[in-house]
Each structure stands twice: as structure tokens, then as C-alpha cells.
């Protein structure tokens, strides 16, 4: 069945890593309520939600997409690109271990799950401040035996590849082309975000529904006009921590 691993919001979220946003006060109670609504949304769309306890010493630990990637055959436990997040992976790996064999990435490779977009057997890995060439090469070497092809992608002006583009359907990618070089995946059908909503490409496909923040109404309308079913959530406080909808869960069949 569709399974989602999530982790409760840390009380220290306001001390999170920030790369492109100014630091603003975060209302933790509201962030917790937003995260609960996100978990309810996933459950309402058919997912069994496994919610891990908060790691209060790790402000960004709610963003479980970054320390791990769960594929059909195996899970990859990543080497995070920032020191402050390196302590997140052990308890997350323990939660994934009942479902998949684990591969641990090793230094000097750096890679964060938010930088990896999967389209079928192709994995597109963004060369961001968090993911380096060695990380992409190690991912490719580890996953070749499972039949995955890994392609490096250049990006700019954003945190992760999935800030700039996400796969929202079979061979369909929602994209902000100002932030990513699409030449590695322009064989797919690309749908551009609305011009005034550069952050709208981070969208989570759950079954036949696209989940996205309610901060991007023009892109949500555009997707509905294209025939997608779209569910929107208030993520205002979580987004102050440079969050998106993909980074707060690991979704897989188990
Ligand atoms: N605050 C999300 C991150 O920088 O990892």
C-alpha cells in the first residue's frame, strides 16, 4: 500500500537552514498544525502515514525527503550537504529499514533527496549547493545494477532541484525554467508554472492528485485546466523554513 513516512515539526524549526529566504519568525504551533493537515491530506489520499517523533536538536528534521530516497528496490541514505542536518539520517534509516534494503552514501559524495527527481527509471540529480558531482556519480554507481540512469542537472537561484521542477504525472514535469536547465529532460511534457509564482514547481503527486501550497493559486488553476486534480494546503509557516510539499514526506509502496 502507499506509505508515507513523515516526522513531527521540531520545536527548534525557527533555527533551520536558510539558503534563499530571509529569516522570519515562525509560529511553531501554526507550523505544527500545518504539518498535521499535510499528514491528514496524505491519509485522505490513501496513504498509510508513519509519523516519526520530532528531533528537537535538528531544526530541519521534519524535511524527511532530504536524508533518504526510497525507490522500489532499495532506499538510499544520503550524505547531507550541510553539517547541521547530518544527525537526521540514523533514526530515519531505522524507520525505512523494515521496508527496503539500505544503501548508505559516503563522503566526499554529497547529495540531498530534494535534489533528485524521479521519472520512471531516470533520476535527475540537481547540482546544487547541497549536492556535488561526487554525489551524483556515487548515486549512479550504486543504482546502475537496479537499472536506473542518473543524469546531472544544472540549477540556479533555488535550494533544490525539486524547488525548480517536479514530476507530476507519467512523463509530465511541472517546471520553473528560470531555475533549471531542462535540456536533460525536455523529452518529457513540460508544464510551466504561472509567471508570478516561481516557487510553484514544488508539487507532490499522490496517486492521481497533485498536492501543492495554497500560495500558488494561478498554477493550481492552470493544472486544473490541464485536467489534473489538485489539493491545496496552507503551508505559510513551514514555507518560511524553505519548505515545500515534497520535502515533508517519503512516499513509497510497501
Ligand atoms: N530549511 C530547509 C533546508 O535548508 O534544508
CATH of the domain at 52: 3.75.10.10
User: Catalytic residue among 41, 160, 165, 166, which?
Assistant: 160
**Counted domains in the chain:** 1
* Residue identifier of the C-alpha nearest atom 4 of ligand 1: 17
Average pLDDT over residues 54-71: 98
DSSP state of 180: B
> Using 50, 70 and 90 to split pLDDT, how confident is the model at 186?
very high
Report the separation in Å between the CA atom of 67 and the middle of ligand 1, taken as the mean of its atom positions: 11
Our answer to whether residue 122 is catalytic in this structure is no
pLDDT band at 225 (very low <50, low <70, confident <90, very high): very high
Rounded mean pLDDT of the chain? Answer: 98
Dihedral sign, Cα of residue 176, residue 219, residue 43, residue 173: negative
* Greatest pairwise CA separation for the chain in angstroms: 46
Q: How confident is the model at residue 254 (pLDDT cuts 50, 70, 90)?
A: very high
- How remote is the CA of residue 84 from the centroid of ligand 1, in Å? 10
pTM, to two decimals: 0.97
Domain that holds residue 45: 2-253
Amino acid at each position: 500500500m502507499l506509505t508515507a513516512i513523515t516526522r513531527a515539526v521540531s520545536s527548534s524549526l525557527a533555527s533551520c537552514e536558510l539558503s534563499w529566504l530571509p529569516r522570519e519568525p515562525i509560529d511553531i504551533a501554526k507550523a505544527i498544525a500545518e504539518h498535521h493537515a499535510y499528514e491528514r491530506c496524505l491519509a485522505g489520499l490513501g496513504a498509510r502515514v508513519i509519523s516519526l517523533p520530532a528531533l528537537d536538536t535538528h531544526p530541519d528534521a521534519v524535511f524527511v525527503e532530504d536524508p533518504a530516497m526510497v525507490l522500489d528496490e532499495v532506499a538510499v541514505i544520503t550524505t547531507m550537504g550541510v553539517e547541521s542536518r547530518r544527525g537526521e539520517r540514523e533514526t530515519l534509516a531505522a524507520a525505512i529499514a523494515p521496508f527496503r534494503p539500505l544503501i548508505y552514501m559516503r563522503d566526499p559524495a554529497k547529495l540531498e533527496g530534494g535534489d533528485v527527481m524521479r521519472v520512471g527509471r531516470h533520476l535527475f540529480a540537481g547540482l546544487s549547493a547541497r549536492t556535488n558531482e561526487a554525489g551524483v556519480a556515487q548515486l549512479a554507481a550504486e543504482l546502475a545494477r537496479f537499472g536506473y540512469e542518473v543524469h546531472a542537472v544544472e540549477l540556479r537561484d533555488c535550494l533544490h532541484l525539486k524547488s525548480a521542477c517536479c514530476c507530476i504525472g507519467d512523463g509530465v514535469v511541472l517546471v520553473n525554467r528560470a531555475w533549471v536547465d531542462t535540456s536533460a529532460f525536455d523529452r518529457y511534457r513540460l508544464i510551466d508554472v504561472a509567471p508570478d509564482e516561481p516557487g510553484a514547481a514544488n508539487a507532490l503527486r499522490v496517486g492521481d492528485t497533485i498536492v501543492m501550497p495554497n500560495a500558488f493559486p494561478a498554477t493550481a488553476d492552470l493544472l486544473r485546466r490541464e485536467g489534473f486534480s489538485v489539493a491545496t494546503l496552507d503551508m505559510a509557516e513551514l514555507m518560511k523554513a524553505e519548505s515545500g510539499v515534497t520535502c515533508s514526506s517519503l512516499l513509497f509502496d510497501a
